[in-house]
Structures are given as C-alpha cells and as structure tokens.
Amino acid sequence: MSTHKKSETKKYIAVIDMGSNSFNLIIARRFGLSRPVIKRFNITVQLARYLNEENILLPEGIARCCKALKSMQEFISHFKDDIEVRANATYTIRSTVNKDQLLAEIAKVFPHKVNILTGEEEARTIFKGIALSNPITDDFIAVDIGGGSTEIILSRNLEPQYLTSKNLGCVSFTQKYFKDGAISKDLFDQAYEAACKIFNTELDNPTVRNYLGCKTAVGSSGTIKNTLLRVKTGLKEVEKRVTALLEKPETEKSIYNRELLVKLAEKVKVFSAKYNGQNYLNAQSLDDLLELILAHQNASQLVYHGFDASGRLVLVGGLAILKALFTVFRFEKLTYSESALREGVLYLDQDSNIFKQIRVLTVHNLRRKFQLENKQFNDFHRQALSIIKQDKYLQQNMSYQDVTNYCVFMLVGISINDDNFTQHSNYILKNTPLYGFNGEQIANIHKFADALVATSHDFAEPMHRLALLMELAYQFTFSSFYKLIKQNLLRVGFNYTDGIIDKLIINVADSVKNDNPYLEENFARLTKVLDKYNLAIEIKSL
C-alpha cells in the first residue's frame, strides 16, 4: 500500500459506492468548501444476484466485485498520491456472511480501506447527500430504493428526526417475485403487499406517525429517477418508439408483440396528455404508469420504454416498493434528488450547518471559480436590481439574493470569452451541479440560460423577461451609458402592453449627444440586443 500525504492536504477525493446492482465512482476536486465533480462512471456488477439463500457471496460475485474495483483503481492511480479514496459498501456486502473472505480478496487488487456502512450510517449519509440539492426547511420525507435495502429519513429544518434502513430493494424483490423477468399483476400485488407489510412496522413509532400525509417527499435511486422521467416527458419517446415499430414491424425479434404495441399506443397517448411536463410523482401518476408497465409479460419488453438492460430487469421490483411507500407514508408529491449517498460521502467532513447555506455557497463558488471581479460585478448587480423593478411579477417574486444569483449565472461565461459570453454561461449552467437548488429552481435557471441564447422569446414566461432585463442591465453597466445614468444625463424607461414591456425608451440630454463619441456605438450594441428580443427602442431628449 502506498504512503499518502495527510488526507486534508490532498487535492482530489474519490468516492466509490459499492451497491447491490452497480459500483459507482465519482472523483471531485477540493475547491474551498465545495467539491466540484470532474469524473463519474459506474460498472454494473449485480452483486445481489450472487448471494445464495444462506447469504454467502458466491465465487463469481467475489470475482465481479474485485474486477470492478481493479478497474476503478487503475483510473484512481492516475492521480498518484494526491487523492483521498473513500470506498463504501452498502446492504449486499453488509449482509454477506463471508464478508471477511471478500475483503481479503479485495485487498489483493484494491489498496484502500473499504468501509462497510451500517443501515443507519447509510441512511444518514444518503440524507446528507439529498440535503445538498434539496435545502427544504419544512418537514419532508427522504427515501432511497437501493438494490437490497430501502432507506427512509424524516427531516425537519434539514436535521434527520428519524432514519431507518429496511431490508428490501429493487434487486432482491425482483429475484424473489419476478424471476426470469416475468411480469404480471398477481406477482406485482404479492411484492407490493410484502413491501407494505415491512413498512407498516414503522408505524408504531410516534415520530413516524407525525409524518404520515407529509406534503413533500424527495427520493433518490434509479427506480425513482426513471419513473419520474417517464412522467415528466409524458412518455413522448415511448410514443415515438411504439409508433415506429407499428409502422415498421420487427417481426423477426422474439419480443415483438403487435397486440401489446397497439394497446400501448392508445394508453401512452392518454398518459402523455395527462402528465407531460409534470415534474413530480404522485400516487395517481404512479398508478397510471404501473397500468402501462403491467401490460407487459416480461421485463425484456420494457425496451419499448427506453430502459437499459440492467434498469428494466429490476424496474418492477422497485416500483412495487415505491407504490408501498406512497401507500404507507401517504406523502403527496415525490421529487427526485440528483445527489444522494455518493455526494453525502463526498461532503462527510463538512459541518452540518453548511447544508442550510449550501445555495449561497454554490453561487459563491461559481463567482470565485469564474473570477467575477467585485467592482464590475457590484456595478452590474446595482443595475440589475434597479431594472428588475420594471417588471411587477419579478419584483414581487425575486428576493435580493435571487437577483444576486442570476447576476452570477449570467456572467460566469465572461471568464472564457466576453464575445457571445452568454453561450458559455449557458453551457456552464447546464453542466454544473447546482447544489442547494431544487428541481424546479434548476429548471428555471436552465430556462433563463436558454433564453439568453434563444432567437425567439415568449414574454409570458418570466425567465424570458428576466433574460431581457439582465441583458439590458449588462448593456447599461459595461458601456458609456453607466456614467451618464449616474450623472442623470440619461434615463431609462419602458412602454408596456398588457403589463409586459414592448418598448425601451431612453431619454438623453441634448448636451451629451454631440460630446460622447461612443454613444452611437453603444446604441448600436443595445439595438442588437433588442432585435434579439423583438423590442423597439425610442430615443428622446431629456
């Protein structure tokens, strides 16, 4: 084993999550209190498949585990001694009778300690990861459906009030109830009732009973991600795939079933009309999706829905557990968390208070990383605060901190190139983890980023109006307009139709028109911006 520098001085952190279905690796760089991820990949191991009835991990399972870790170590070794490795095993390895034999074999190919998390440690770490991207101070329930266990955490003010790990997961339930990929309503009902029975044991706890009917739940894991994605997209891709297969039948393939495809085509259209764009899951949307899934006879047919090979094998087992969670805990809405166990391990050494300020920290680190100078940023920020008052909705719904955040979001691309910098800002925002912001907030940030580079705009959409006002604030800050505005020699106004800006009005002192050689050039740049937003400009004397 190599000698390393003290972990706190190491530039990089590698986190390995040794799950029941796959091993996941993320590598992050220490950047102040932040941990920007620079690489992530996973290897499908399906460890739970190689546990026998006595919970002994079979030789093939041990070999697959070692092979995956050896591959990850080859990648980690490129960072030499400047990386701290945090490898964590969860339910399957935790429950393995011959774990000592497994760890001995691992040590031959992987020169780092493997930490086997207890169920409670796993739940606590998952919660820490979920808190990164879901800074919800109200009561909420966090759930994670793993391959062999399901974790449930009850939160108040971002502090876990109760946490537990139950011995059921999408892999173990699939093996028990859906052998060889078989799907039927009867099999699903058996799995669902078994999951309900396990979760119902938690209802004896008064803390748990206080959370029944909670409005908000946040989930992680592939089952929840894949399910919510299908609801959010309204199965549009499924509709395209099914339509194409009906038009050009692939009768030579054994899974081709025209009768099933015809049935799916009808049901998918109804589903799409009902749910397209819904960014959360509730009991009704889950039941409607289940009706579609349970129309299949085998997991192989779920290829019609776009699930990859490993995902479709364990999907139905995961859905039985998910439905049981809705039934027993009765939460109203479930959203998806991009961060969970791995991110929790990544930030394990951070004070818990950081999660209550993580949104501010995320924006601060963006500003620091992309070197937004204080003087220029503050001038732009003042202009943005002033000009956003011109939109009643934005003024009422955006806090001072919100305006600060969007100023940073707009300017991050300048550090790459100030020509067409909004293109760079768009790319950065789409490819940066925005910890502390929930799914809806991130969707709005992405709408704003898209509006900055769009060629047509819908001013009924607040993020499009915000993009316009921020671009105007930029023009008024980084030009000779700024000095003239401060000297009260130039004033900015707007004309409105139905409460929405349709014309920019600029009043300029006559004395300025001839004395400022850059004014015409500044007006040309401003007109170019307005043309993008299809707005007129009127210049008047002050």
423: which 2 tokens?
């293109």
Q: How far apart are CA 432 and CA 430, in angstroms?
A: 6
Sheet of strand 12-18, all strands in order from the earlier edge strand to the far edge: 37-44, 22-29, 12-18, 83-89, 114-116
Alpha-carbon 275 to chain mean position: 20
Q: Looking at residues 124-141, what average pLDDT do you find?
A: 89
Give the model's pLDDT for residue 313. Answer: 87
**Segment 184-197, tens digit of pLDDT:** 999 999 999 999 99
CB atoms within 10 A of CB 112: 21
Nearest by Cα to 236 from 208, 206, 278: 278
Which of 166, 173, 147, 281 is closest to 219 using CA atoms?
A: 281
Q: How far apart are CA 534 and CA 212, in angstroms?
A: 51
State what percent of residues in the chain have pLDDT above 90: 56
Residue given tokens 């001072």 in the structure block? 400
Distances (CA, A) of 408 to 44, 155, 429, 435, 526: 38, 30, 10, 15, 21
356 Cβ neighbours under 8 A, 6+ residues apart: 135, 137, 157, 158
Ramachandran region, residue 24 (left: φ > 0; alpha: ψ -120 to 50; beta: rest): beta
pLDDT digits (tens, 9 = 90+) for 63-89: 999 999 999 999 999 999 999 999 999
CA–CA distances in Å: residue 266 to residues 208, 281, 505: 41, 22, 53
- For the stretch 410-454, pLDDT in tens is 999 998 988 889 999 999 999 988 888 877 888 999 999 999 999
**pLDDT recorded at residue 342:** 92
* Pick from 451, 450, 453, 473: nearest CA to 391: 473
pLDDT at 403: 95
* Residue range 308-344, pLDDT digits in tens: 777 888 999 999 999 999 999 999 999 999 889 999 9
Q: Residue 277: pLDDT band by 50, 70, 90 thresholds? A: confident
Are 15 and 41 contacting, i.e. CB atoms less than 8 angstroms apart? no
Percent of the chain with pLDDT over 70: 97
Residues 6+ apart with CB under 8 A from 66: 105, 106, 108, 109, 110
Instruction: Please state which of the ranges 11-15, 84-88, 298-302 shows the lowest mean pLDDT.
Output: 298-302
Q: Please name which of 403, 427, 415 lies closest in space to residue 369, comparing C-alpha atoms.
A: 415
Q: What is the pLDDT of residue 6?
A: 43
pLDDT at site 2: 40
pLDDT for position 353: 67
Give the mean model confidence (pLDDT) for residues 107-117: 97
* pLDDT band for position 356 (cuts 50, 70, 90): low
Mean pLDDT over residues 215-239, rounded?
91
Residues 6 or more apart in contact with residue 213 via CB below 8 angstroms: 330, 331, 332
Residue 7 pLDDT > 70: no
* Beta partners for residue 154, in sequence order: 141, 162
What domains are defined for the chain? Answer: 7-116 (3.30.420.40), 120-344 (3.30.420.150), 356-541 (1.10.3210.10)
Q: What is the pLDDT of residues 476-521, one digit of tens each?
A: 998 888 888 888 898 888 888 887 788 899 998 888 877 777 788 8
240: its two tokens: 């395209």
Contact between 49 and 171 under an 8 Å Cβ cutoff? The reply is yes
- Buried residues in 160-170 as b, exposed as e (16+ CB within 10 A): bebbbbbebbb
Q: What pLDDT is attached to residue 136?
A: 83
Give pLDDT, residue 338: 86
Mean pLDDT of 6-28: 87
Dist. CA 455–CA 533, nearest whole Å: 8
Distance CA 437, CA 411 (A): 19
Strands 333-336 and 490-497: unpaired
End-to-end CA distance of the chain: 76
